[in-house]
Structure 1
Amino acid sequence: MGIKSFMGRRAEPVKPAEAPMLVRDYMSSNLVTFTENEHILDVMDKLIRHNISGGCVINDQNELIGIISEGDCMKQVSDSRYYNMPMEDLTVGKRMNCRVETIDGNMNVLDAAKKFIEMKFRRFPIVENGKLIGQISQRDVMRAALTLKAHNWQY
């Protein structure tokens, strides 16, 4: 006679909660940055060489003080041509945008997507304890969305 065993009904396995997709997990941290005393022509050269559309302006303590973009550079090129102004004394500090919107590295990346849409920005710096630690772009958010699609989205 064999041994009989009875196991009661098993509970459904607990599905682990999905870990939030945080901005800090998708941000770029190896940034091309600029200083306010940098010449605008050097900025244009860096933007082209690194195939980027803009970047953060920082001080000596790695604190975010502004943003400079292709658009800021194009405005300078246009103004110089239109007003026949020389470009030799033009610095980032004269063209950068000092009113910078940042986002929290602990924000869910999908919430960041909504902020991109609402504010129509191409990038957001991430500052922690007063220091620039990274930047997230629209492309980074799309990369996160593709990761999410691989796990959750249906075709």
Structure 2
Amino acid sequence: MGIKSFQGIRRTTKKEFDAPILVEDYMTKKLVTFTPDQSILEVMEALAKFKISGGPVLDDNGFLVGIISEADCMKQISESRYFNQPILDKSVEKFMTKEVETIPHDISIFDAAGIFDKHHRRRLPVMKDGLLVGQISRKDIVIAALKLSGQNYK
């Protein structure tokens, strides 16, 4: 008679992931914001000063009404040269993107990566209960992924 190998009943082990994976864990919370009545020149100066590529536009009550980016500023620069007009007198409201795609604070960075891929945005405002609480960029998602790749499953 041959020898039988018996390991017994195998325990089911649940793999736990202890690294933070939510958007709110990686978003930027201290934002440079703009108002609709600011001039494009002020925005360009702020973008250069803070080394950012865009930011949310808030009304007087602090509600998100748009987003302004370097690309929006480029449109103004191009048009001002074409029509030979100064940049100074144009307001953010004329050039900002008004239909803003936002992202909830409590979704995973994996879902956020899918949204970035689908909508081809560089940054997304992060909302909680209808209020702006931060902003997440593609770079933030990449950094989060690098941090997660260093984590081990238990």
Q: Report if TM-score (shorter chain) is over 0.5.
A: yes
Q: Percent identity?
A: 47
User: 2: distance between equivalents of 1:21 and 1:106?
Assistant: 9
Asked if the contact 1:22/1:108 (under 8 Å) is kept, the reply is yes
User: 2: distance between equivalents of 1:58 and 1:87?
Assistant: 22
Asked if the contact 2:56/2:125 (under 8 Å) is kept, the reply is yes
Query: In structure 1, what is the equivalent of residue 140 of structure 2?
Result: 140
User: 2: distance between equivalents of 1:43 and 1:88?
Assistant: 11
Asked if the contact 2:17/2:152 (under 8 Å) is kept, the reply is no
For 1:1-155, list aligned pairs within 5 A: 14-15=13-14, 17-19=16-18, 21-152=21-152
- The alpha carbon displacement at 1:16 in A equals 5.6
Asked if the contact 1:64/1:127 (under 8 Å) is kept, the reply is no
Structure 2 SS opposite 1:151? coil
- The alpha carbon displacement at 1:87 in A equals 2.3
How many matched pairs?
145
Structure 1 SS opposite 2:132? strand
User: 2: distance between equivalents of 1:147 and 1:12?
Assistant: 30
Q: What amino acid sits opposite 1:72 in the alignment?
A: D
State the Cα RMSD in Å.
Answer: 2.1
Please list every run of 5 or more consecutive structure 2 residues that lacks an aligned counterpart in the other structure: 1-7
TM-score, reference length from structure 1: 0.86
Runs of 4+ in 1 over 6 A off after TM superposition: none
- The alpha carbon displacement at 1:142 in A equals 0.7
User: 2: distance between equivalents of 1:75 and 1:85?
Assistant: 13
